Chain A
């Protein structure tokens, strides 16, 4: 079954405690991306990757890091989380940049992060 798997699904943490949200896909997709979703603001792109070892900033990259060492994994790292990073995070994949023209992103189930 085609899947995008995120972990953890729910996390409450404290300011400054480093955390990583993992994303793994089994569809051999080249394109992977992280979004955060906040009320009234919609989905905003944090980082994206067009292939292994290729990553680029999205619209709201501050406070986040990513890496793409393998095709299937695209972890999101919060080195020093702050309360304004409390949000719902989604990982998404697509077959390749060209397939974005079809509009079909495959999303993980989301990770709800609360930073106290």
Chain B
């Protein structure tokens, strides 16, 4: 079993839609969590951190459920420019490695 698992998609949604991705992690000792965004043929970039209390950044909301060992990313009012691959990332307890999921592809269409 992979340490971080994501639905690869693709999620095809119309502009303006709300879309949510989940990610599960297997190591219960994982201590911090993040979402990265990767555009086609580009490098990954940090989108946002995921806190136990949840956090929101504009149209993006991230949630953490430690009991069920999953994190989620909600995107409201999708834009064409949101089309990308979203990577779920977990920092192991010893803190010196970030483990990446394989990514979820989002395609927003007009």
- Report the minimum CB–CB distance from A58 to chain B (whole Å): 7
Greatest chain A CB density within 10 A among B43, B44, B100 is at B43
Binds B, one of A19-27, A36-44, A63-71, A73-81: A36-44
B91 lies within 8 A of chain A by Cβ = yes
Q: For chains A and B in complex, what number of residue pairs have CB atoms within 8 angstroms? A: 56
- A33-B91 Cα distance, complex, nearest whole Å: 14
> Count of A residues near B, CB < 8 Å?
23
Dominant SS at the A interface?
Answer: mixed
- A20-B109 Cα distance, complex, nearest whole Å: 41
| Chain B contacts with A in 49-99, Cβ cutoff 8 A | 49, 87, 89, 91, 95-99
Q: A107-B43, A107-B45 are in contact. List 8 more A-B contacts (CB 8 A).
A: A42-B4, A42-B100, A42-B103, A45-B97, A101-B91, A103-B32, A103-B49, A110-B41
